[in-house]
Amino acid sequence: MTRLLFTVNPGLEDISAEEIRAEVPEIRLVEERAPHGRVVVETALPVGRRLWEAIERLRSVHRVSILLASGRVCGKPECLEAVGKAVELSGVDAYITPFTSFAVRAYRHGSHEYTSMDVARVAGEAVIKAVTRKWGRRPEVSLDHPSVIVGVHVIGDEFHVAVELSGDISGHRRGYRIYDHPAALKPTIAYAMLVLGGARDGEVILDPMCGGGTIAIEAGMLFEDAEIICMDKNPRHIRGAKLNAAAARLDTRIRFLVGDARRLEEYVSHVDRVVSNPPYGIRMGDPRSVRRLYSDFLESLSRILSPGGTATLITTEHRYVSRRAAEAGLSPVEERTVAHGDLWVKILVLRRET
């Protein structure tokens, strides 16, 4: 059995675990490590083309690695010796030879008396020791362009040692992102929001503050027959969204509108799902402005959302949004905390009952 470590968006581990179950053949879920974005599975499928093709279909995963070793570690500097020993004995020398360049990428979360650089240094020395012992020669270290990346994850009092299969490029960096909106949403979060909101093929799906079009494009990749509408009041963002959609070969399947989210009924008669990343008060500079926007938007939304339809929003203003949504006749379905860049924000799912 091969153990795989998936790095996912913190707060959405269960969404990723469910997608992995559906897409990766012959897997058994071992652990969902929240809130630090780790999912561990076991699979009988050998690491090869069939497994990799399944992994490439995943929309919610940032990185995937072969998990070699796990254990406990304390926060004292002297405890790093145990991490180094685990790396040395992990079997990493089966993936790295004297003719294979490597680098160590260390990820640390929690309170420790050492840094990620300390973890990387100890782990790198252990890799060199293991490879030299097996092959009689040292491997080459290449920090910028390594052939093999060894990931060492220290999370609280636990650590994982893994060989990264996806390299240095995270899966949330989609190739279609030509126009980069200044407050762009990670595509992995956009995918999760569509899932949380219960979006289905054949429905009308609207992002009324679509920015660079990430949510609309992810919806287009998920559904063949949905009517997808990407709307923003800024014509520049709509032009950028069209560029991104064209790069994803979805520009003919998405309807683009320049319009005001506070007056939705002027542009669409009804929608089944609204999924959006509205401006935060932090970004607008004035919380009162964003609250006025939310209030008008929710009132307008309640007039065009189909009975049983949902609105899924990601925001820092979750308390205000929840209160105003209730006044607009929208009931809470789910609320969860997720990492969005350097912020911890809320995803809210609201439903119109009648």
Q: What is the CATH number of the domain that holds 253?
A: 3.40.50.150
- 107 shares its domain with 194: no
Total domain count, the chain: 2
Token code pair at residue 336: 């969860």
* pLDDT at position 305 over 80: yes
Q: Is residue 202 part of a domain?
A: yes
Mode of pairing for the β-strands spanning 158-164 and 61-72: antiparallel
pLDDT range class, residue 53, cuts 50, 70, 90: confident
- 220 shares its domain with 144: no
Amino acid 330: pLDDT: 95
Compute CA distances 346 → 35, 211, 260, 334, whole Å: 13, 19, 23, 10
Amino acid 172: pLDDT: 66
Which of these, 283, 292, 282, 302, lies nearest to 350 by C-alpha position? Answer: 302
* pLDDT at position 144 over 60: yes
Among the listed ranges 100-104, 239-243, 283-287, 311-315, which one has the minimum average pLDDT value? 283-287
State how far the Cα of 324 lies from the Cα of 321, in Å rounded to an integer.
5
State how far the Cα of 252 lies from the Cα of 230, in Å rounded to an integer.
12
Q: What average pLDDT does the chain have?
A: 92
Which of these, 295, 353, 294, lies nearest to 329 by C-alpha position? Answer: 353
327 lies in which domain range?
187-352
- 157 shares its domain with 280: no
pLDDT digits (tens, 9 = 90+) for 186-200: 999 999 999 999 999
- 63 shares its domain with 107: yes
> Model's pTM, two decimal places?
0.91
Amino acid 284: pLDDT: 47
Token code pair at residue 260: 């005001």
Across the range 328-349, mean pLDDT stands at 93
Peptide bond before residue 35 is cis, with ω within 30 degrees of 0: yes
Across the range 3-22, mean pLDDT stands at 94
- 66 shares its domain with 98: yes
* pLDDT at position 90 over 90: yes
3-state secondary structure 101-167: CEEEEEEEECCCCCCHHHHHHHHHHHHHHHHHHHHCCCCCECCCCCCEEEEEEEECCEEEEEEECCC
- 160 shares its domain with 219: no
